[in-house]
């Protein structure tokens, strides 16, 4: 059994991945892939991981849990997704870290499925836009709660990912930059669900709605539908060309500032993020999807 757990991060995916996979449940089920409804497991898995943190788990524990969540007869892979598996928005930043409790959270999730192959998936986002967006979220408690006394210049995704890998060294950890998602989206869906390369999913291009003009969305979908099969590199080039021509600039602009930030604060954070991404791409134990 394979368990794929998509961790978010907050304000990257916004449930678009799991909505697309849920739309294709019937197709994916033919490949032995189960996509349970999110209401069935999000609270259940978080609570079970917490309550069983000091309790021995075994194959029977795993089987009982999966039996309560899966309705299909033959399943080889199950996909779970929640941007709150690592924390609520309010506690995403603390102790000088991004997701300070990430190690304990993934370890707890892994313990629920002791005899399965567990894989974790996660997008990261430039702190220059991630932190302001997090501060504005209704569940985060505002900029003061999000940042507190933290120095944003010291926050590193590589540090977070290092803690995750150390906590679950036997689990595959796949990471990509949220900024690259437009070019990687079909690949991300395939990586998380595990469906075959030639499987065509409905609604793949819904992700681009609101970011690309309606004309561009139609032309892009038609172009890719008429020219399969296509390598990942070829598809990225096509997507890049359509995005360059049809992306809506006003939808892509993000306000990148917090109270107390200097004029060049966002630029400095962006440069530090670029350096951090270079480091992440070389990290042992991390599979980095590069655009």
Residue pLDDT, tens place only, 179-223? 999 999 999 999 999 999 888 899 998 999 988 999 999 999 898
- The residue with tokens 């898995």 is 45
What does each of the 291 residues of the chain score in pLDDT, given as a tens digit?
Answer: 999 999 999 999 999 999 999 999 999 999 999 999 999 999 999 999 999 888 888 999 999 999 999 989 899 999 999 999 999 999 999 999 999 999 999 999 999 999 999 999 999 999 999 999 998 888 878 888 888 778 999 999 999 999 999 999 999 999 999 999 999 999 999 999 999 988 889 999 899 998 899 999 999 989 888 887 689 999 999 999 999 999 987 656 666 778 888 878 899 999 999 999 999 999 999 999 999
- The residue with tokens 């042992």 is 284
- The residue with tokens 């309550």 is 51
Phi, psi of 117, rounded to the nearest 5 degrees = -90, 110
Quick one: how far is CA 236 from the chain centroid? 19
Distance (Å, whole) CA 118 – CA 251: 36
Distance (Å, whole) CA 32 – CA 28: 7
Count of positions (residues) in the chain:
291
The reply to whether the predicted model has a pTM over 0.85 is: yes
**For the CA atoms of 41, 118, 230, 179, what is the dihedral angle to 10 degrees?**
70
Question: Exposed e or buried b for every residue in 224-263, given b needs 16+ CB within 10 A?
Answer: beeeeeeeeeebbebbeebbeebbeeeeeeeebbbeebee
Six-digit token string for 14: 């916004």
Residue 150 burial (C-beta neighbours within 10 Å; 0-12, 13-18, 19+): middle
DSSP letters spanning 167-189: H-TTSEEEEEEGGGHHHHHHHHH
135, 258 contact by CB (below 8 A) = yes
């Amino acid at each position: 059994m394979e368990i794929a757990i998509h961790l978010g991060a907050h304000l990257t995916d916004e449930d678009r991945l799991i909505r697309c996979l849920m739309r294709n449940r019937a197709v994916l089920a033919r490949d032995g892939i189960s996509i349970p409804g999110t209401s069935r497991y999000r609270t259940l898995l978080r609570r079970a991981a917490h309550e069983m943190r000091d309790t021995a788990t075994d194959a029977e524990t795993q089987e009982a849990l999966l039996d309560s969540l899966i309705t299909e007869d033959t399943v080889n892979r199950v996909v779970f997704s929640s941007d709150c598996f690592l924390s609520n928005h309010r506690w995403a930043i603390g102790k000088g870290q991004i997701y300070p409790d990430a190690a304990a959270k993934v370890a707890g999730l892994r313990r629920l499925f002791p005899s399965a192959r567990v894989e974790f998936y996660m997008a990261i986002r430039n702190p220059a836009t991630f932190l302001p967006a997090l501060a504005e979220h209704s569940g985060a408690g505002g900029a003061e709660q999000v940042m507190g006394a933290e120095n944003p210049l010291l926050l590193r995704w590589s540090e977070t990912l290092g803690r995750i890998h150390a906590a679950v060294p036997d689990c595959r950890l796949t990471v990509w930059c949220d900024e690259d998602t437009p070019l990687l989206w079909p690949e991300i869906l395939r990586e998380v669900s595990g469906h075959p390369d030639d499987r065509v999913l409905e609604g793949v291009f819904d992700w681009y709605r609101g970011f690309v003009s309606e004309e561009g969305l139609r032309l892009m979908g038609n172009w890719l539908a008429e020219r399969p099969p296509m390598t990942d590199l070829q598809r990225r080039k096509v997507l890049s060309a359509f995005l360059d021509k049809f992306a809506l600039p006003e939808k892509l602009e993000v306000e990148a500032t917090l109270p107390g930030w200097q004029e060049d604060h966002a630029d400095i954070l962006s440069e530090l993020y670029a350096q951090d991404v270079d480091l992440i791409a070389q990290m042992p134990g991390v599979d980095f999807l590069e655009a």
